[in-house]
Structure 1
Amino acid sequence: MSDITEEQAAEALQAAAAVLLTTGATTAAAAAPDPDETWPLPGGTAWVYYGEGNQGLIRPVLMADGFNTGPSNLDLLWEHLNRRGYPLLDELRRRGRDVVLIGYDERSASILDNARVATAAVHRANAERLGGERLVVGGFSMGGLVTRYALAKLEHEGMDHQTGVYFSWDSPHTGAWIPLSLQAFAHYIRKLDGRFSDQINSPAAQQLLWRHIEHWEDKPAASPLRTAFLDRLEEVGNWPRVPRLLALANGPGDGSGNGVRPGVEAVVGKGLAVSGTELRTQSEGDDRLVAKLRVVTVPTREVRTGGLPDIDGAPGGTLEGFGILADQLNELAPVLGFAVENPVREHCFVPAVSAVAVREPSSHADLYLPIDELAPDESALDDFVLASQNEEHTLVTEELSGWLLDRLP
């Protein structure tokens, strides 16, 4: 095992499933029900399910998919929105609402590109709709930004999108977070297997992340793609103005963190191939060690940061980013010495202050802000709800679903 070469490591890594950071099931799910209609759209697809008793599109609720790599998968969408937590899609249909699930040909493509898919779905829904019920349009995670931009752009162009309610579910309005240690590791193993790095460097990821690095030795900053996206959003007014704006967050509003401590070991290499690797949670201050990197024959490198907040433990929707990486490496451990220990599995992914658009996640004070105590005009949203505890990013709970269902016209 001590004689493993980079070529052998690369072959094994590339033959295994890719390390991809995402919430919920990724590869296996029970089949979704057959849709009543399937709409091919430029750059994507919409799957239509009529509400109970409806013979056509009467009361449409358009729901856009979030971020991942590759095309949207109907089975995985249905699993996440209807089977893993509260059966939101079933309940919408039981109440006579038609569900329109919007998917993309490539989930990691630019938000601006996938906003065209959402725009086409809005046009099709208005063309197919029977009667005068206005649309409900929104999305989960990135899908909330996709639809936010699509509706705002339609208004900017003077077009009537016929939408009465916009909603976002744990969407990173002021930025999402992947720990710098994970980003650095992804780029460090790029020459062995580039898929993890490709996901971090994809257009959508760069637009979503509050701080990003393209190479392991880079200093964290807002990606130029993020800056350009925010400029485009501002050009169309930042938010749609016609519909009522709602947001749901999978983090609490009392400022309670998720218990992840700053500056502690999250993934520690034990096998010979990764001995010396150490990925840590983010801590405040200057010249903070966040990662030691060594894979196969490469000498150990260090990654240090400065001026960043202790964001991994902040209130918000969580992602098992450290755990996903550790599980994948341990799958390879028996033959290649990639064994790791994994003291910390999850981290904050979408801070609560981002999901309800009240602050950027730029400091400890902003991240741990007691949102419940803020005046209503602190957010551009008309109304929002926060979960009673920190929970998995975009987890569909009865608590949040009930709030949304009660606010639909």
Structure 2
Amino acid sequence: MKYYCLLFCSFVSLSAISQSYFQKKPTSTPIVHRSVVTPIVATIGYQGYDETQAYFGEGEYEIFLDLVDGTLDKPIIVLDGFDPGDSRDITGLYNSLNFDGQNLADIVRNEGFDIVVLNAPAYTTDGKAIDGGADYIQRNAMVLIALIDLLNDQKVGDEELVILGPSMGGLIARYALSYMEQNSLDAETRLYISFDSPHRGANIPISLQYLINYLAQETGDPDAQAIVDNVLNSPAAKEMLYDHLLGHLQAGSDYLQDPSKLLPIGAPDFRDAFQAELDALGFPQNVRNVTMVNGSGQGTTTGMAGMQVVDTTLDLGGGATANVLLHFTPEAGMTNNVTDFRSFFFGIPVDTFLADAQAFGFTDGVDSSPGGTSNISNALGDGSGNPVIADFIAALDQDAFSFIPVISALAIENEDDWYAAPDIGGTHTSPFVNSYIPQTNESHVMVTAASAQFALNEIRQLLGIEERDTLNRYALAQNPIGELLQLQVPDEGRGTVTLRVFAITGQQLFIKTFTNPSGTIRLDLPLASGSYLLKITDAAGSETLRFLVNN
């Protein structure tokens, strides 16, 4: 029977899967005033969980100077995300910021900001071949640290950096900034924007993982095995995936499921270790941390838990056929079959592969949760001209799946239900001081006009509110101030007036309420030198003033 299985599998070329991607491919548009792509090497090595020595990570970057004075003085770093095989180069990363005929990078360059794109290519170091776009998040973070140091040395003036981390790039940025703080390294960074990043894990349907792995192991096809090795079993995937096929295998088998391991589990020795390391680092404390999310803030699902994904018979030619049945992981506390693959040769059964899944009692399976979506067709490279894969994709009942659950993108650690609408200001808190969350699920790291405006407000340091309303009711007697803040109150009565002082990172530092104040309010504020916000609330509304402390 093994002979027939190999004959059957010879008709299935999975080379299309080598083009796997998990975010929409950007439309290529011209980029003005480019420079050169420059290599960069980390100065801090990193030893991975399965490595016997530390290796120094490598990357490549390009600086896109602003279109105002052409001087590197306001750098914004844009990072690469999960990109096995480096299919998304620097041009693709820049164009990934396109929206509605515009580009976020173009907009800020026209306002005097400089864009620096950091790509993670494939490279060889000290005899080891490394695929940067799927390598350890920690090693890529060390490359980012090297770039941060370089830009802070080369920039003109004292403007602090902004870092935008899409997808895995958000984890790289978080790790790098927190690492620098904990090791007394000055990042000179004021703003960190996490963009649909998996702070509590990412998801690729376990049913699809089982199917690809089974076909790879049973055929011995080098292209299929390459996608298992280089995508699913890459260090980054094993660090990020909430549920990974390696956690479910029988001892001694590379594809058979252990029936006692049906609950979601990460890759052994990778997933839990990475999450514990990330949690221990926490978030940078001297940076304003904000997030852009692509999943629904209203609890809208991506399909339904346990739903049928595909049920089809594939004609492989030469008398070979295959019946393929896939499901999403089930409802809370339930067990279902997620992968059912049966092969035939002229109607004679050749082989059968089955795999089940169970959901925890406190949440439905993650596949259909609210979240930034990817597609099964994307994971299969859209078929890439392979008629069998194209037929499989055409038969899909459900293409989209939750790739980055909302709860993960918001880094809410005390919420176990993937389907809960985010309660940011309540019991289940997010560490981010500001967030953009759409009402409906969007494609992973898709920029929209609304999310672009959120990012622009943050980059411009508007913090989502106007710094002063049109009435100009209140005014600072002097700015910068020393330790004494003097606020001039309008002549008309204001009733109760509440003053709040915020750090530029969003933390509230001071609050005080006054009843019917007049003339000038004087506050002793023993603050360190720097930039702060004063929010004034009275019966007529609120306005916010920026002030500087110069001690």
TM-score, normalised to structure 1, is: 0.89
| Cα deviation, residue 217, structure 1 | 3.2
2:120 is the counterpart of 1:89: no
Q: Tell me which residue corresponds to 1:355.
A: 409
Question: Which one-letter code corresponds to 2:441 in the other structure?
Answer: N
Higher strand share: 2
Task: Give the match's secondary structure for 2:25.
Answer: coil
Higher helix share: 1
Q: Tell me which residue corresponds to 1:46.
A: 61
Q: Tell me which residue corresponds to 1:253.
A: 297
| Cα deviation, residue 294, structure 1 | 3.4
- Find 2:271's aligned residue among 212, 226, 234: 226
Paired residues of 1:46 and 1:100 also in contact (CA < 8 A): yes
Identical-pair percentage = 27
Q: Tell me which residue corresponds to 2:359.
A: 307
Instruction: Report 1:8-407 matches (<5 A).
Output: 9-10=9-10, 13=13, 16=16, 18-25=18-25, 29=28, 32-33=31-32, 35-42=34-41, 43-71=58-86, 72-82=88-98, 86-105=102-121, 106-190=132-216, 191-192=220-221, 193-198=224-229, 199-214=231-246, 215-218=254-257, 219=261, 220-223=264-267, 224-235=269-280, 237-258=281-302, 260-273=303-316, 275-284=322-331, 285-294=333-342, 298-308=350-360, 309-322=364-377, 324-325=379-380, 327-328=382-383, 331-333=386-388, 341-359=395-413, 362=416, 366-371=417-422, 374-375=425-426, 378-407=429-458
| Cα deviation, residue 196, structure 1 | 2.8
Backbone CA RMSD of aligned residues: 2.8
Paired residues of 1:65 and 1:139 also in contact (CA < 8 A): yes
Paired residues of 2:338 and 2:356 also in contact (CA < 8 A): yes
Q: Equivalents in 2 of 1:77, 1:327: separation in Å?
A: 20
Q: Equivalents in 1 of 2:11, 2:353: separation in Å?
A: 23
Cα-to-partner distance string for 1:238-277 (whole Å, 9 max, x where unaligned): 211110100110012122223x022222133322345221
Task: Give the match's secondary structure for 1:318.
Answer: strand
Cα-to-partner distance string for 1:300-346 (whole Å, 9 max, x where unaligned): 22110113423222111000125643942883339x98686111110
Highest RCO, 1 vs 2 (Cα 8 Å, sep ≥ 6): 1
TM-score, normalised to structure 2, is: 0.67
Q: Equivalents in 1 of 2:391, 2:299: separation in Å?
A: 41
Q: Which runs of 5+ in 1 are unaligned?
A: none
Paired residues of 1:46 and 1:102 also in contact (CA < 8 A): yes
Q: Equivalents in 2 of 1:84, 1:7: separation in Å?
A: 49
Paired residues of 1:330 and 1:338 also in contact (CA < 8 A): no
Max radius of gyration: which structure?
2
Task: Give the match's secondary structure for 1:61.
Answer: strand
Q: Which runs of 5+ in 2 are unaligned?
A: 42-57, 122-131, 247-253, 462-551
Cα-to-partner distance string for 1:15-54 (whole Å, 9 max, x where unaligned): 556251421228x845655633433112111111111213
| Cα deviation, residue 386, structure 1 | 0.5
